[in-house]
Copies of this chain bind each other. A is one copy, B any other.
Amino acid sequence: MVAPQHSKRLAAAARRRQILGVAADLFTAQGFEAVSMADIARVLGISRPAVYSYFACTEAVLGALLEEHLGLLWQHLEAVIPARSSADTRPAPGFYARLFTVLLGQPGTLLLLYSGGGPVFQARRNAFLTELERRLDLQFPGAGRRPYQMSVVTQLLGSLAFFAVQQRLPDAHLLAETLDLFTRGGMAELARAEPVLKVSVT
């Protein structure tokens, strides 16, 4: 038999989950900034105060959603990014296609990550891409030699993955192949180019 206290907690957890689900749908359908706490309450058929008892504002709802979604995404990404002990300084063929495919495997997360337009929202997206950049740099230390080299790769991955998900490309595997060849060619060209001098010569 379930104790009343326990079933209350269950009900609260289920309600919180409902709020997050509805909010994610609204954010991606209308753009994050277009959605109010009242909109979320209306879709769920509950009062506004009921929604406020779970979250202080839509930014807090977004924070909880992104924490959950990105936590899962990192688990999948970590399975693809090799362990730190790797002696290679250059990713194996197909590496960028695999990274891209992992991103495509979490369409809801991508739609959420690109659903807002305000600067605070942009900062959240950049935080994710910067973390991806940091982890790729750690794995392939030789690869980040040129200024912004890894920013180029992560911005390309992020924007193309969003593009593929948003456009529902039926042949995204072809885009993955093109992206992989393109990125490997680009990285090889940067490795061949003269390094940029970091000190000024007087």
Interface residues of A (CB under 8 A from B): 27, 29-34, 114-119, 121-122, 126, 146-149, 151-152, 155-156, 158-160, 163, 166-167, 171, 174-175, 177-179, 181-190, 192-193, 196
Asked if A193 and B175 make an inter-chain contact with CB atoms under 8 angstroms apart, the answer reads no
When the two chains form their complex, are residues B158 and A178 in contact, meaning their CB atoms are under 8 A apart? Answer: no
User: Hey, which chain B residues are within 8 Å of A31, CB to CB?
Assistant: 31-33, 116-119, 121
Contacts of A116 in B (CB 8 A): 31, 117
Instruction: Specify the chain B residue showing the minimal Cβ separation from A163.
Output: B155
- Cβ contact within 8 Å between A30 and B33: yes
Chain B residue at minimal CB-CB distance from A29: B119
CB distance from A177 to the nearest CB of B (A): 8
Q: Which residues of B contact A196 (CB under 8 A)?
A: 174, 177
Partner of A181, one of B155, B182, B184, B186: B186
Measured CA separation A117–B62 after assembly (Å): 14
Q: Are B182 and A190 in contact (CB under 8 A)?
A: yes
Contact A193 B181 (CB under 8 A): yes
Flag if A186 contacts B182 (CB, 8 Å).
yes
Please, how many angstroms separate the alpha-carbon atoms of A121 and B30 in the complex? 9
> A146 to B178, Cβ gap below 8 A?
yes
